[in-house]
Chain A
């Protein structure tokens, strides 16, 4: 438990940017495996999410239920990763959750409004994976998608898969 080891946020933001653009550049030049960039980003996020949740939950009490887990993702998890909480959590109580972040960290530096909207999905794939990986290590299988209508606000939809 060495919490004094702190990295700087700028480093993560730049690394994430470079992961996105680097993958797309490689695909354009036909290097590596072609295409499927979104899937790759999502998979990377998944691994990171798994690792993070393992470390974050080692001192927390057992979760009561699914909703309890979602609350943890919206509060503690989001806070540690993006330095803020999810602004709004909604559910239909049948396994669909919508997490809304009005100021999503990975989009704030890109635009306010609709400019560059077509590029937004690339910058959300990693985070979708992050959520899915986190949930997966808490025993919940899910599909996570994201949508943006006006930057930097963003909605993540979590569909729980019954095992």
Chain B
């Protein structure tokens, strides 16, 4: 019963994505004014994303009922089918697994962050949605996974799809204080 009430609350948390998209756009615009080059903006977006990710994971785990993932394939599924769906209302497809199963790509057909965006020519090295990389990295770090996340294709730059490449680096061991095992 309590769980159902919780789910009802989760439903009512939906809002139009326009506010989010426009706010994000205003943020990127401001950062482009504040920093001289695109690399610094990318870095700043990633850092902010990371800070969001480490908090978002708590919200996600509390609301989604997802337990610990046993392997990276399961992690990929949860990210694409549950997390992206919940927060951005889209379901990216998963592809291009590496033979070792430690690398995959998220393919986004439409990226809600870029709904009303055109990149001017003088910002060719700006990774507009770089916040997402930080969010993914931060969130996964909180569940003991060190992961490298980066954009390899972007519709804003003329590619046909947006592709985020995720590479598993290592499992982060629990750091127990000495003598408390």
Contact = CB atoms under 8 A, between A and B. Distances in A.
B22 interface: yes
Interface residues of A, number: 33
Contact of A52 (B12, B19, B59, B90): B19
Contacts of B87: 7-8, 10-11
Interface in A106-136: none
B16 A11 contact: no
B19 A81 contact: yes
B86 interface: yes
A5 interface: yes
B138 to A, nearest CB: 11
Contacts of A44: 23, 26-27, 29-30
A48 B22 contact: yes
B112 A5 contact: yes
A10 B13 contact: yes
Interface string B1-34: 0000000000011111111111111110110001
Interface in A15-39: 15-16, 18-19, 21-22, 26, 31-33
A14 to B, nearest CB: 5
Which secondary structure dominates chain A's binding surface? helix
A103 interface: no
A6 B16 CA distance: 5
B56 A7 contact: no
B34 A26 contact: yes
Which of A18, A19, A21, A83 has its CB near the most chain B CB atoms (within 10 A)? A18
A14 B52 CA distance: 6
B13 to A, nearest CB: 4
Contacts of B88: 7-8, 11
Contact of A6 (B17, B23, B30): B17
A19 B35 CA distance: 15
Given A4-B89, A6-B14, A7-B16, A48 B23 contact: yes
A162 interface: no
Given A4-B89, A7-B87, A44-B23, A12 B52 contact: no
Interface of B: 12-27, 29-30, 34-35, 44, 47-48, 51-52, 55-56, 59, 86-90, 112, 116
In the complex, the 3 A-B pairs of residues with the closest C-beta atoms, listed nearest first: A32-B34, A7-B17, A44-B26
14 contacts: A4-B89, A6-B17, A6-B89, A7-B87, A8-B86, A10-B13, A10-B59, A10-B87, A12-B20, A15-B52, A22-B48, A47-B26, A48-B23, A52-B18
